[in-house]
Amino acid sequence: MDISSSLTGRSTAAPRRYIRHGMLPQLAAFEAVVRLGSATRAAEALCMAQPTLSGHLRKLSEALGVRLFEQQGRRLVPTEAALVLLAGTREAFAAFDRCEQVLAGMRSAPAAPRQAAICEPK
């Protein structure tokens, strides 16, 4: 079983391009640009240098094999492919938010006594 199928729980492998180092920062940069309409404003909102943000967008576009933005004056306008990716990005970030809420509750709850699991041969 490869990493894709172990992460998704499906036998069909998810494209490896979605499981790679740096994809979450790339998606965060992408979402911020779509939301704010500007790489400069997105970089400021994410507290990163604008060239770093632009690099994230370039790498994401290359990894996915699609153009994500069209330049219209000083504004970046998302392409149709970007809007598809945006929906998936927002779903993924919402799932992370739900996980974080559960984990936060686990962090603040008193620790339950734990028993060590001992594996003995039969």
Domain-located, residue 118? no
Domain-located, residue 70? yes
Domain-located, residue 1? no
Residue 110 has pLDDT above 80, yes or no: no
pLDDT in tens, 63-95: 999 999 999 988 899 999 999 999 999 999 999
Domain-located, residue 120? no
Percent composition of the chain: helix, strand, coil (DSSP 3-state, to 5):
60, 5, 35
Residue 13 has pLDDT above 60, yes or no: no
Domain-located, residue 56? yes
**DSSP letter, residue 113:** P
Sign of the dihedral through C-alpha 102, 103, 106, 107: negative
Choose among 89, 69, 66: nearest CA to 79: 69
Across all residues in the chain, what is the average pLDDT?
83
Domain-located, residue 108? no
Choose among 8, 14, 28, 18: nearest CA to 86: 28
Q: Number of folded domains in the chain?
A: 1
User: What average pLDDT does the segment 47-75 reach?
Assistant: 94
Angle at 64 between CA 33 and CA 99, to 5 degrees: 65
Categorize the per-residue pLDDT at 116 as very low, low, confident or very high, splitting at 50, 70 and 90: low
User: 17-20: long-range contacts at Cβ-Cβ below 8 A with a sequence spacing of 24 or more?
Assistant: 17/63, 17/64, 20/63
CATH number of the domain within which 30 lies: 1.10.10.10
Print the domain residue range for 80: 16-98
102 vs 4 pLDDT, higher one:
102
Domain-located, residue 7? no
Categorize the per-residue pLDDT at 114 as very low, low, confident or very high, splitting at 50, 70 and 90: low
Domain-located, residue 114? no
Categorize the per-residue pLDDT at 1 as very low, low, confident or very high, splitting at 50, 70 and 90: very low
At residue 66, the pLDDT reads: 96
